[in-house]
Amino acid sequence: MSHSTLPRTAQEPGGPAPSAAADPLTAPAPTPSPAPAPAAHLGAPLPDPLPAAPPDPLSVWPASTLPHGPGDLTLGGVPLTELADRFGTPAYVLDEDEVRRRCRAYLRAFPDADVYYAAKAFLCRAMIHWVHEEGLGLDVCSAGELELAVTTGFPPGRMVLHGNAKSPADLRAALRLGVGRIVIDSTSEIARLAAAVPAGTRQKVLIRVVPGIAAGGHAKVRTGTDDQKFGLSIADGSAQHAVTRVLGQPRLELTGLHCHLGSQITAAKPYLSAVRRLVGLLARIREQHGITLPELDLGGGHGVAYRPGEPALDIAALGARIRAELVRGCAAAGLPVPRLAVEPGRAIIGPSGVVLYRVLSVKRTGTHTFVAVDGGMSDNPRPALYGVRYAPRLVGRASSAAPERVSVVGRHCEAGDILAADARLPGDLRPGDLLAVPVAGAYHLSMASGYNLVGRPPVVAVTSGTARLLVRRESLADIQERDIGL
């Protein structure tokens, strides 16, 4: 299927919500059907089956992406070459309509639930406005994220505070600003939090439970098992002990259970298993303490495709299957169905972002070609941390050269500074060319560093043919102003 026939579902912020049936967010990547077997003729060899159609190269780009001129693309109606010329490179570009479309898709998929955007994936004032206007809550993990949201006008009662090691400053900020829920991650946090709650008030809390389920795209992002730093285990009784401890604190109000299985999960089965185990724990809590907890937060970790043809989690199907499993399990246990919550981050902002780089050098060493760009692991550490693979694209000029396998590498002093290993790009790449990398909205700027003091890139928003700066580029002056000692 050509890119021009892909469903284009991005809408103006005030426009109608797109149809779920035509929404690539809520449907898995299409799998080409095998060619029908030809009829056998005696004595005649069977022909080779037709090759499967290659995946659409723009399938992982925001829905507003369109070809423009010789080799260029527009995003939100703005040419990528124009963005690079105006804002420089590297630069992150966010499609505002894509963000809003994905927020709305979550509200359709989970109509009777609370949807909290996970701020750790990416946060700035504009993003806070967008998710608030679309009706989502906010999941924060520090006083910094919390303060930025509150000073931007986000209601603190619509926030959940996470963290396996919350500092006293984090807890004080949450209580002072009136955060809606605090997720307790360890038993030592219970007495510390209770002591900080002002007399005569109560703070609503959830207990983060480890259900013993291995799920996620890499070992470093699997958080639902008993061998990592998060949460309280069901298997060893830690979760049940924490429930008893919280119920003994008059300034804490236990409203439910929380779990987060990991990141880049592309199947519904782990979430259904988590529902069953948490419903079982809810039933044991009622039996032991005589209380029915009204809330169940299943966290996030919903996987997206980073390259054409990769699987992505079907959000609409996930919502329906979780609801069905929760209703069935609660009916069997004689429990009322608790209020559900989910916490998507990557699945909203990841595919809404593109990063632009300028090629600095092309080096051929033996049979290997290295394409070095003006960014690297300081603005995207994920390939170095998790071996993530991306699909960069040449934009700004047409090329008839045959594609070659190259490594797109960064400018930093590390052999592991590789942004896209084994990428297919035209064989005539040269310094000055512009590369665009899709699915760059999540865990890029939020995990960026000051390595080699190159400065973090700006963030630009596009919508309806216009572009505006959201976060300016970090300058050398910014870096020097922080260094005050001699």
Binding-site residues for substrate, in ranges, read 346, 382, 386, 414, 443
Question: Tokens representing 439?
Answer: 């699915």
- Distance CA(410)–CA(357), nearest Å, equals 10
Angle, CA of 240, 246 and 250, to the nearest 5°: 150
Contact of 431 with 360, CB cutoff 8 Å: yes
Q: Residues within the annotated binding site?
A: 301, 343-346, 382, 386, 414, 443
- Distance CA(264)–CA(195), nearest Å, equals 37
Number of other CB atoms surrounding residue 135 within 10 Å: 12
**Residue 118 forms beta bridges with which residues?**
139
Alpha carbon separation from 9 to 26, 238, 404, 417 (Å, rounded): 12, 46, 33, 36
Q: Which residues are catalytic?
A: 413
